[in-house]
Amino acid sequence: MNGLKLLTALFLLIIAIPLQQQPEGINITIEKGHKKITYYAENVTDNDLDLFFKVNSTGFRRSADRPMIETIPAKTKKALVTLIPLKGKDTTHTYIAVVTKKENNIELRKTDTIVKDVMRIDPKKQN
């Protein structure tokens, strides 16, 4: 009975993965290791791209349900999430990926100045 569930889950997984639409400019690949499943993102364009990525999973050791935003440099492949299945549990995983062009860089530069004003109020002096 347990083998039938596993076989059914694998069959559905094999059918569902090719049906998921690849985001434009990024190829998402899934590599199955001995005791882990790793998601990779490969940027096939000549420009850096930002990737919003979220995995919905059950039956895994570490929850990967937290979304992430990663910058994938041009012509590179980057590991996103590694899933480790729990022993004796049925596992499922699907993903959501949204690609945006890297246009607005909001990183701080060394020339930027950050000023922090702290105002202290002494309650005794107010009276």
- Evaluate whether 37 touches 65 at the Cβ level (below 8 Å): no
Q: Please state the pTM of the whole predicted model.
A: 0.62
Does residue 19 have a pLDDT over 50? no
pLDDT digits (tens, 9 = 90+) for 44-54: 999 899 888 99
Instruction: Give the C-alpha separation, 97 to 110, whole Å.
Output: 33
38: Cβ contacts below 8 Å, ≥ 6 apart: 30, 31, 79, 80, 81, 82, 83
- How far is residue 37's CA from residue 87's CA, in Å, rounded to a whole number? 14
CB 37 within 8 A of CB 63: no
Collapse the DSSP code of 84 into the 3-class scheme (helix H, G, I; strand E, B; otherwise coil) and give the result: coil
What percent of the chain is predicted at pLDDT more than 90?
A: 20
| pLDDT value of residue 109 | 54
92 vs 104: CA distance, rounded Å: 36
